[in-house]
Structure 1
Amino acid sequence: MWNTVHVRALIDKRKKSNSKFHDMSGSQKYLFWKSVATDINYEFGTFYLGTNCKDKFNALVKNYKNMSLYIQDDKFDQLRMKNLALGNLSAKSSTSSANSSTNANLPVENCQNSPARADSMIMNLMKVILIV
């Protein structure tokens, strides 16, 4: 099962070979993913196949593209950033203000633990790869 450390290693290995990867043919890409799997397996004691690495990476790219459509103009994120800029929220905040019906009054911790925030690390890493 993929964990965050394995995913980070997968992205880093793919990122390091980004320019070469785009020049590879089908059989070269097969060997590339096989070598990525071998490296990750050696480093972490896992048993991934090259196809597992390829499928996982492609799924990350697909999810990144889908998520980026929603996160860019997320009203919740815009309200949170506005309140942080105005000083209405702090990183230690744990209570809502009087108007608890709006997302702007949620504590920062709740924002950071939302599903969109949970994948922000992966999205930031994917941005480096997808901007070619």
Structure 2
Amino acid sequence: MIELRPGLFLDPEQIHWSAIRAQGAGGQNVNKVASAIHLRFDLRSANLPLWVQQRLLASGDQRITRDGVVVIKSQCHRTRELNRRDAQQRLVALLQEACTPPRARRATRPTRASQQRRLAGKARRGAVKSNRAKVDF
């Protein structure tokens, strides 16, 4: 079990792995060995709380398909095991980010000095624009 936060765990059996050939430079190793990893994790069939699933689906992350499947591709290492570990770490980071609720925004009021600076800037800008107007003689 992978702990996302206290009391919330991820079952590794729900993660589907597939080894594929990596892209790009790497010579003969890249051409012969399927060392890149494709990780697929179905959010809808996972044992995650509903609010976590909804936050992930609403996040707009490009790694999440319309069907609610997280797809992560890792090919930065030479070995399959390191790529697998990297993909799993990225999935856990994504899920942990969704588990932490955003901070509530506290409303603040602008200071008097900042209000005066804003109004002074608006007055300066208005003066510049009024100087561009046609002059009547």
For the aligned pair, the TM-score class normalised by the smaller chain equals under 0.3
Q: TM-score, normalised by structure 2?
A: 0.22
Q: Which structure has the highest helix share of the two?
A: 1
Structure showing greater Rg:
2
Give the TM-score normalised by structure 1: 0.22
**Which has a greater percent of strand?**
2
